[in-house]
Amino acid sequence: MQSPAVKKGAEPQSPPSTCPYSVTVRRNPHRTARPTPKRTAALPPFHSRNTDPISEFPTQEDLPSTKETPPSSESEDLKVFLRIRPLNSKSASLKTVSGFSSKKKASPKPRDNQLNKSVSCIVVNDPRSVTVSPPTALRDARRTKTESYQGFSRVFAPETSQGQVYEMMMKPLVEDFIKGKSGMLVALGPTGSGKTHTVFGCPRDPGMVPLALRHMFQPTGEVHSTLSRSFYITIFEISSERGKGEKILDLLSDGTDISIYQSTIKGLQEMVISNVAQAESVIASAMLKRSTAMTKANSQSSRSQCIINIRLDTQNFEGQSGTLSDSAVLTIIDLAGAEREKNTGLQGKRLGESSFINNTSMVFGLCLRSLFEHQRNPKKPLQKHFQSSLLTRYLREHLEGKKRMSLILTVKSEEEDYTDTSFVLRQASPYMQIKFTGNTQPDLLGAKRQSQALARSDQAKRLKVGHFTGPKADRKGFETETGRQLDEEGAAIFKENIEESLPQNAQVPALDVKEKEKEKEKEKEKDDDAPCNINESQRSTQIMQNFAKVIWNVLKEYKSKLKEADNEIDNLRGNMDFEKARRLELEKEILYLKTNCSCSKKISVDSDLVEVDTYVEFSAERSQKKVDITCIAEETNPTDNLICHTSQFIDSESEFNSSAEHNLETCLQSDCNARFTISQMVGDSRMNASLPESSAGFDNYSSCLRDSARDDEQVPEGVTSADNPGSNTIKKDKTMEPTSALTDRSCYFPGASHDKHGLVEQKEIDSSIKLVESGSIQNDQVPFATIADEASILLQSSQKEHEQKTESSPDNMPNGKNVDHSSEAPKLAVSPISSINIKDDCPQSEAGKPKLHNNETEDEKACDANGSMGYMEQKDDTKPCPLRLNNTKPKRRLMPASTVLLRDMRLLDLEDEFDTRSKGRRGRKKTDAEENQRTQGSTNLLRLLKSNLHR
């Protein structure tokens, strides 16, 4: 057998010495020009370096592919096989399909005159690479270079037999198919390159389909096999519809309407094949129906895309059909070869068929190229070229890389076919890098086909799908896709090669598409992109969920912190409230203690209490033994002021005490805001005491006088004398003075410096006393002082004054002040400074000066801040000054009345009573026992007063 690389008649060039009979001719020497993409460096011809006699192409034993393992089911590359049609001097002769004798015989124009002169343009370098060399004419005109292509799954030299091709290419697919794995083989190549020959062959040289059928029905040798296999076959073609559209024809039936939905064809008749003969008969019958035509390039040129599906269904002996996954489909497709008008010489209808054929071939190539580019660069979207033709739509899953596929490229080796051969190799070279994933997925297509198959008896023999809506739309779609892809390499390829293959009168697909069609196309693309969109949406959803999760956690933390802060705020508020309550309680307790403690005369009030003009008017007239108690209740409403006046004459001191206590207590019960005035006249002494209207004043007074607190008791408004039997008079008084700033054991002294609350220092008090004694005190206000203290001191003073009244003389009064000598009894008055008006002319003698204390030490008798009884003055200016002060006597410091009381009360064992009353008694209803105790306390106090009076 002569090698195709050897050119007949060529002059030998340096024949190797070892092989003088072999001649290697290099038609197209290597150039230094820039290599084309995807093209390897040109290699010397496969046999040129071999000095041995030219051997035949590697046989089956030598081919490693025969020993290759079956393709991996996980992920495998697109298998691209290359078969070179041999230079055949008879190639121009009539093409006969001996295997399928029904194929019509055409009468092609022989090219015998050129056959003998044909030179192969392709040289097989090795089982996986070839070198294509342009003819001399093209080389010189277009500066075409020699091209080498490698990476094929297998290169079948021209002399390779059908059996060898089957063993190396088809057998693995069939074996996998028998095992339940689907596969597909597509024959692609220019017209007359041997596609049909390879697929179907001839009776003498059967192709892949007959060989596969024989393989399928070979006995497996599995005696104990529990499975029985059933094979089904469908054959249909996709052809041109009057040169404008596409149609699907079922080659196994007649007249039945079939349609295609996405990648599923409905209405196809599926025939059961039980043996090889029957199968071959069915296939031969189908081939008779296939559209063929005689062209210049091929006497029996296929005018349609023929698809053969062989489905395998497995059953066990129990008759249960296998699952869907057990169904496998082996698909073999014989495409119509692209052709050039000048080579085919077709006109009219055939010209339209040629356009359809070329377009389909181009779309198929674009789909594979888009898949390749998408897999190489995932960012590049996978184009939807499959929508442009029925064939590609049917093969969508394969063209998207979801199902495996094998290509058999057939090329012609003649020099004049260099352009077609070079184009096919250039186009298909990248396909070898395409990978298929998901081959392990169950083949549902076969199941679909099985379920959709119609009964053969009911099927018409042949269907025409001219009414099929797909062709027109697909045609438009194809035009759109075509125009879209012409911008890059596809355009160049189209211009350089495809256009040349198109008939001159063929209409090139229009590139301008209407907007509506574009919109429809976009909608289709949207539908097609639905899975991608779903994935994108899921990813976005996942991202948003994660983001929301993070935000949620952050907000949760903030919420917990806010909650803690709120709790802390609540705690602080609770503490504040507690402290406030505690403060109030302490204040009340302090007040209570002060009011019940004889040593503490401090009267503290809240800042909101208004200042009260308090006064104590205390006069004692012992001679008359009269107790005159006046309680004036003053309200904010001037008309509601009450004045409770009690005047009672008593005959003895005991009566005075009880009477005073009774009246005072009655007034206290009448109104806490009463002004209290006690006028006691015992003998020739008169004692007047006025209490402030504030409750504190009453309490203070009450505590000192009655030894009992009545701060919480208030007399309802409108109380009358009947309600207070002790009161002789109850009347309204419009004078209402707000209570506040009661001094702590302090008094307002005329001319003395006062602090904010009217407190005066001890020395100031002393000086004031001096002024009082000297009769120079002129002031208009005297705050409330403890009545008991004052009373005690006043009584003491009045007693002493009474003793010394005979010694007093008006001449002795300082500053020439007149002293009322007409008064029979010394009058001791304690009144507010406003009411105190010591006249400048009040006579005051040394003898008349009251002796405010006994002869004890001054500290014991000293009046501290509150022992200010020195502002004693006659209440009424018209009355003579009751004080008969003796200026000659040394001025003595007054002793605080509280000190005196405390001292005396200690002697009277009153501490326990004070202690018990100072703790935790507030807010509790007073019992009768306590009332009795208070009475007892008051009794003690009065006893003390009494003792002072008699001192």
Ligand X SMILES: Nc1ncnc2c1ncn2[C@@H]1O[C@H](COP(=O)(O)OP(=O)(O)OP(=O)(O)O)[C@@H](O)[C@H]1O
> Does residue 176 contact residue 405 with C-beta atoms inside 8 Å?
no
Q: Which residue is nearest to ligand X (CB)?
A: 194
Looking at 138-146, 188-196, 514-522, 567-575, which segment touches ligand X (CB under 6 A)?
188-196
Residue 463 sits at φ, ψ, to 5 deg, of -120, 145
Scanning 144-301, the segments in alpha helix (DSSP H) are 162-165, 171-178, 195-199, 208-216, 276-289
Rounded to whole angstroms, the Cα distance separating 357 from 653 reads 147
Looking at 194-202, 311-319, 510-518, 829-837, which segment touches ligand X (CB under 6 A)?
194-202
Structure tokens at 439: 């081959």
Give the shortest CB-197-to-ligand X separation in angstroms: 3
Looking at 7-15, 28-36, 191-199, 318-326, which segment touches ligand X (CB under 6 A)?
191-199
Question: Which of 191, 239, 724, 796 is close enough to bind ligand X by CB under 6 A?
Answer: 191
Q: Closest by alpha carbon to 825, among 846, 853, 845, 797?
A: 797
Question: Which of 103, 181, 195, 350 is close enough to bind ligand X by CB under 6 A?
Answer: 195
Binding residues for ATP: 189-196
Rounded to whole angstroms, the Cα distance separating 119 from 134 reads 10
Question: Which of 95, 800, 893, 917 is close enough to bind ligand X by CB under 6 A?
Answer: 95
- Asked if residue 193 binds ligand X (CB under 6 A), the reply is yes
Distances in Å between the alpha carbon of 504 and those of 189, 339, 483?
A: 21, 12, 19
Give the shortest CB-435-to-ligand X separation in angstroms: 27
Q: What distance lies between CA 774 and its chain's CA centroid? A: 90
Rounded to whole angstroms, the Cα distance separating 845 from 838 reads 15
- Asked if residue 679 binds ligand X (CB under 6 A), the reply is no
Which CB sits closer to ligand X, 162 or 690? 162
> Does residue 882 contact residue 829 with C-beta atoms inside 8 Å?
yes
Distances in Å between the alpha carbon of 168 and those of 55, 64, 160, 442, 611?
A: 20, 9, 11, 25, 123
> Does residue 215 contact residue 350 with C-beta atoms inside 8 Å?
no
Looking at 142-150, 298-306, 653-661, 703-711, which segment touches ligand X (CB under 6 A)?
298-306
List binders of ligand X among 319-358 (CB under 6 A): 336-337
> Does residue 267 contact residue 234 with C-beta atoms inside 8 Å?
no
Give the shortest CB-191-to-ligand X separation in angstroms: 4
Which CB sits closer to ligand X, 336 or 788? 336
Give the shortest CB-59-to-ligand X separation in angstroms: 16
Residue with tokens 């209808």: 349
Which CB sits closer to ligand X, 352 or 867? 352
Give the shortest CB-93-to-ligand X separation in angstroms: 8
Residue 618 sits at φ, ψ, to 5 deg, of -130, 120
Which CB sits closer to ligand X, 105 or 561? 105
Query: Helix, strand or coil for residue 723?
Result: coil
Around Cβ 230, how many Cβ atoms within 10 Å? 15
Binding residues: 189-196
E strands in 782-930: 827-829, 846-848, 885-886
Question: Which of 65, 300, 304, 388 is close enough to bind ligand X by CB under 6 A?
Answer: 300
Q: Closest by alpha carbon to 892, among 844, 853, 838?
A: 853
Please name the helix (run of DSSP H) or strand (run of DSSP E) that holds residue 245, with its range, or none: strand 245-250
Rounded to whole angstroms, the Cα distance separating 269 from 272 reads 10
Give the shortest CB-368-to-ligand X separation in angstroms: 18
List binders of ligand X among 393-422 (CB under 6 A): 410
Which CB sits closer to ligand X, 328 or 395? 395
Give the shortest CB-373-to-ligand X separation in angstroms: 27
- Asked if residue 501 binds ligand X (CB under 6 A), the reply is no
Question: Which of 71, 183, 189, 726 is close enough to bind ligand X by CB under 6 A?
Answer: 189
- Asked if residue 197 binds ligand X (CB under 6 A), the reply is yes
Looking at 184-192, 438-446, 603-611, 691-699, which segment touches ligand X (CB under 6 A)?
184-192
Lay out the site mask for ligand X across 599-638 (x = CB under 6 A, - = otherwise): ----------------------------------------
Question: Which of 24, 48, 118, 302 is close enough to bind ligand X by CB under 6 A?
Answer: 302
With 0-12 CB in 10 A as exposed, 13-18 as middle and 19+ as buried, what is 840?
A: middle
Lay out the site mask for ligand X across 108-147 (x = CB under 6 A, - = otherwise): ----------------------------------------
Q: Closest by alpha carbon to 6, among 39, 42, 40, 53?
A: 53
Which CB sits closer to ligand X, 194 or 896? 194
- Asked if residue 298 binds ligand X (CB under 6 A), the reply is yes
Which CB sits closer to ligand X, 193 or 389? 193
Length of the chain: 951
Lay out the site mask for ligand X across 815-844 (x = CB under 6 A, - = otherwise): ------------------------------
Looking at 296-304, 451-459, 721-729, 851-859, which segment touches ligand X (CB under 6 A)?
296-304
Rounded to whole angstroms, the Cα distance separating 616 from 782 reads 8
Which CB sits closer to ligand X, 91 or 419? 91
- Asked if residue 802 binds ligand X (CB under 6 A), the reply is no
Q: Closest by alpha carbon to 881, among 844, 917, 852?
A: 844
Which CB sits closer to ligand X, 28 or 344? 344
Rounded to whole angstroms, the Cα distance separating 254 from 620 reads 148
Q: Is 760 left (phi over 0), alpha (psi -120 to 50) or beta?
A: beta
Which CB sits closer to ligand X, 191 or 845? 191
Rounded to whole angstroms, the Cα distance separating 662 from 927 reads 18
List binders of ligand X among 32-91 (CB under 6 A): 85-86, 88, 91
Give the shortest CB-453-to-ligand X separation in angstroms: 28
Distances in Å between the alpha carbon of 51 and those of 47, 656, 910?
A: 8, 162, 146
Which CB sits closer to ligand X, 194 or 206? 194
Structure tokens at 446: 């076969």
- Asked if residue 207 binds ligand X (CB under 6 A), the reply is no
Rounded to whole angstroms, the Cα distance separating 16 from 784 reads 149
Looking at 265-273, 294-302, 646-654, 929-937, which segment touches ligand X (CB under 6 A)?
294-302
User: What is the 8-class DSSP label of residue 834?
Assistant: T
Give the shortest CB-201-to-ligand X separation in angstroms: 9
Question: Which of 194, 697, 850, 937 is close enough to bind ligand X by CB under 6 A?
Answer: 194
Give the shortest CB-354-to-ligand X separation in angstroms: 10
Helix, strand, coil percent values for the chain (each to nearest 5): 40, 15, 45
Which CB sits closer to ligand X, 93 or 658? 93
Which CB sits closer to ligand X, 95 or 893? 95
Q: What distance lies between CA 198 and its chain's CA centroid? A: 63
Give the shortest CB-348-to-ligand X separation in angstroms: 18
Rounded to whole angstroms, the Cα distance separating 711 from 739 reads 14
Rounded to whole angstroms, the Cα distance separating 787 from 744 reads 13
Give the shortest CB-547-to-ligand X separation in angstroms: 58
Judged by the rule CB under 6 A, the positions of this chain that interact with ligand X are 85-86, 88, 91, 95, 189, 191-197, 298, 300-302, 336-337, 410
